[in-house]
């Protein structure tokens, strides 16, 4: 019998289940690189249901309880009196989503002597102190590719929203106005602009592919170069570093994991090397940007717009300056949690748990840490070290 502790975001304010806008979602069996979507032996939910909130339970309760496990689901994750901290000492498995992360700091890992497996229901395991997990030989997994295309779609939407000044124009309609001049005085065409991605992994490459038909110049930097035939097919220019990339781009999108190499990379200095009036879209992790440098750049006009869905910490305190800075298109962390993505990551978590309980190997591409070292996607895309300093500020969300 295992104690499984799962942290999910709150249910909708109105009701659970919500009334759904559509009756089904497309069935996708393979990702663009050929990797199969999750293949659990069974699922106990209907794809398209809201699974990522507390009552959705990732569709796992029946499976876990029928197999004799104890399953605790909560959204109460921050601070020493939270349900999460109370349950942690008994937990063998912790499941958390990046959208509402249960920060697994070294201190919390020390309070969890039974913890053996940390599952990220999504992609991005930066909420776990990977060094502490390595030391304690805790296996860390994520559901690689489950929502990469969901995010790539959000990036394209955010770029178009900023460049074309969509959000303020929509607001004029809500206000009862017809202020065309106000709307268009910050509105441009994307066509002909230079667009670059910081990192061309699954999301970054998905963004490049989606933007190619827009007749833009494409650019990227990454630790590993794309295959020559992909560079040729997309007509994309490789840059050796972020400085070179940002100096030529009108639009930059950030698509790397948060780890010590990328923490606060977009600071005053790097943003100062961007073209005046460039747009920055960050759906990767809030902490890759220096919070106050972004505000300063929007206020001075160095950046014409900033958008994305990732903040630090999460949930962002009510007085977080990104809520009120000028010319932004921020949302809560939603891009990787569409109903379509939820069906994949819930099935992926089920697949990981089935493997864990049956002592079968977990897919290599889902591994971040295994047997005391970075493994699988973790070995390719992450570095060790701690990028969680300050995460306890998330407890202020309810208080402010």
Catalytic residues: 147, 285, 314, 333
Beta bridge partners of 104: 128
Q: Does residue 124 belong to the site contacting ligand NDP (CB under 6 A)?
A: yes
Q: Of these, 53, 96, 141, 148, which contacts ligand NDP (CB under 6 A)?
A: 148
Q: Which of 369, 366, 308, 400 is nearest to 144 (CA)?
A: 366
Looking at the DSSP bridge assignments, the partners of residue 54 are none
Contact residue for ligand NDP among 3, 96, 302, 335 (CB under 6 A):
335
Q: Does 377 bind ligand NDP (CB under 6 A)?
A: yes
Residue 95 or 203 having the CB closest to ligand NDP? 203
Beta strand pairing call for 367-370 and 373-374: antiparallel
Q: Does 147 bind ligand NDP (CB under 6 A)?
A: yes
Does the footprint of ligand NDP cover residue 310 (CB under 6 A)?
A: yes
Residue 123 lies near ligand NDP (rule: CB under 6 A): yes
When the beta carbons of 256 and 369 are compared against ligand NDP, the nearer one is 256
Nearer to ligand NDP, 158 or 183 (CB): 158
Q: What is the distance between the alpha carbons of residues 348 and 394, in angstroms, rounded to a whole number?
A: 27
Q: Does 369 bind ligand NDP (CB under 6 A)?
A: no
State in angstroms the smallest separation of the CB of 99 from ligand NDP.
Answer: 7
User: Quick one: which segment of 27-35, 83-91, 328-336, 368-376 binds ligand NDP (CB under 6 A)?
Assistant: 328-336
Query: Residue 295 to residues 251, 271, 292, 328: CA-CA distances in angstroms?
Result: 17, 11, 5, 10
- Tracing tokens 């909560």 back to the chain, one arrives at 74
**Is 283 a residue that touches ligand NDP (CB under 6 A)?**
yes
Q: Does 201 bind ligand NDP (CB under 6 A)?
A: yes
**What six digits make up the tokens of 179?**
């202020």
Among 202, 328, 350, 388, interactor with ligand NDP by CB under 6 A = 202
Q: How far is the CB of 380 from ligand NDP (least distance, A)?
A: 4
Tell me the residue number closest to ligand NDP, measured at CB. 201
Told to check if 96 binds ligand NDP by CB under 6 A, we report no
Q: Does 287 bind ligand NDP (CB under 6 A)?
A: no
Q: Find the shortest distance in angstroms from Cβ 38 to ligand NDP.
A: 15
Residues 6+ apart with CB under 8 A from 34: none
Q: Is residue 342 close enough to count as binding ligand NDP by CB under 6 A?
A: no
Q: What does the binding site for ligand NDP look like in residue numbers (CB under 6 A)?
A: 122-124, 147-148, 151, 199-204, 221-224, 255-258, 261-262, 283-285, 309-310, 333, 335-336, 377, 380-381
């Amino acid at each position: 019998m295992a104690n499984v502790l799962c942290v999910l975001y709150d249910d909708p304010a109105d009701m659970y289940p919500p009334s759904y806008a559509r009756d089904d979602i497309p069935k996708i069996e393979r990702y663009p690189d050929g990797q199969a979507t999750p293949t659990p032996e069974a699922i106990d939910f209907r794809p398209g249901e809201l699974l990522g909130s507390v009552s959705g339970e990732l569709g796992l309760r029946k499976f876990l309880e029928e197999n004799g496990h104890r399953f605790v689901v909560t959204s109460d994750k921050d601070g020493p009196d939270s349900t999460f901290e109370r349950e942690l000492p008994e937990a063998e498995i912790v499941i958390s989503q990046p959208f509402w992360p249960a920060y697994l700091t070294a201190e919390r890992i020390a309070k969890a002597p039974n913890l053996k497996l940390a599952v990220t229901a999504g992609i991005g395991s930066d909420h776990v102190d990977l060094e502490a997990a390595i030391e304690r030989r805790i296996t860390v997994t994520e559901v690689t590719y489950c929502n990469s295309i969901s995010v790539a779609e959000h990036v394209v939407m955010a770029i178009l929203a900023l460049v074309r000044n969509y959000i303020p124009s929509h607001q004029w309609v809500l206000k009862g106005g017809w202020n065309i001049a106000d709307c268009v005085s910050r509105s441009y065409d994307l066509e002909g602009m230079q667009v670059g991605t910081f990192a061309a992994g699954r999301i970054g490459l998905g963004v490049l592919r989606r933007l190619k038909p827009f007749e833009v110049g494409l650019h990227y930097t990454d630790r590993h170069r794309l295959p020559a035939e992909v560079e040729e097919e997309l007509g994309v220019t490789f840059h050796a570093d972020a400085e070179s990339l940002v100096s030529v781009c009108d639009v930059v999108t950030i698509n790397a994991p948060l780890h010590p190499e990328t923490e606060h990379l977009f600071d005053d200095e790097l943003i100062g090397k961007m073209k005046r009036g460039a747009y920055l879209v960050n759906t990767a992790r809030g902490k890759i940007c220096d919070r106050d440098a972004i505000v300063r750049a929007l206020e001075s006009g160095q950046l014409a717009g900033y958008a994305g869905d990732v903040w630090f910490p999460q949930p962002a305190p009510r007085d977080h300056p990104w809520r009120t800075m000028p010319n932004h298109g921020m949302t809560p962390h939603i891009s990787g949690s569409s109903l379509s993505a939820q069906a994949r990551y819930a099935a992926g978590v089920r697949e990981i748990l089935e493997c864990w309980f049956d002592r079968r190997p977990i897919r290599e591409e889902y591994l971040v840490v295994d047997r005391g070292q970075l493994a699988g996607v973790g070995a390719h895309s992450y570095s060790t070290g701690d990028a969680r300093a300050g995460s306890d500020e998330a407890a202020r969300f309810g208080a402010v």
